[in-house]
Amino acid sequence: MTNSHHYQNLLAQDRFGLQIAARLSDAADELPYDISERLRAARTRAMGKRKVVAQTASSITRSGTSAALTFGTEHLNWWDRVAAAAPLLALVLGLIAINVIQNDKRADEIAEIDAALLTDDLPPAAYTDPGFTQFLKSRVGQN
């Protein structure tokens, strides 16, 4: 809603500027030549700096309940395309880094478990034995 108010304000400013220009042009015929030339040069500079308010959309793209306007004058140069692709590249590199770090942590955890199993006085086959809980209970009672 603020965009439409902003657009209406710009249009009102343009209309006001045109009214002032018309009033000034009425009295310009009676001015000396050097003053009218300076005014013409100033007017040319001012028109060069003026913002363009209205722009016609070249196409309307609809998708479900939403719509998008595209303007034919938007051309992206090489740096704009690189700047647009940079966040996507950073995201992909971040996801790859997270995957590598998680794989390293997982490998370290498995290596610790394997080292604990192999250096323990209990053979690895004992962990699958149904009497293993009895062995643990008796060992706790001895300590």
Give the model confidence (pLDDT) of 2-52 as tens digits: 567 777 888 888 888 888 878 877 776 777 888 888 888 888 888 777 766
Mean pLDDT of the chain: 78
Distance between CA atoms of 90 and 110, rounded to whole angstroms?
Answer: 30
61 beta partners: 68
Q: What is the mean pLDDT of residues 67-94?
A: 79
Q: What is the mean pLDDT of residues 95-109?
A: 96
- Higher per-residue confidence, 57 vs 95: 95
**What is the radius of gyration, based on Cα positions, of the chain?**
39
pTM of this structure? 0.36
Q: How many residues does the chain have?
A: 143
Q: What percent of the chain has pLDDT over 90?
A: 16
Tokens of 36: 């009218």
pLDDT at 141 over 70: no
Q: For 60, phi and psi rounded to 5 degrees? A: -120, 125
Q: 40-55 in b/e burial notation, b at 16+ Cβ within 10 A?
A: eeeeeeeeeeeeeeee
The pLDDT, as a whole number, for residue 1 is: 46
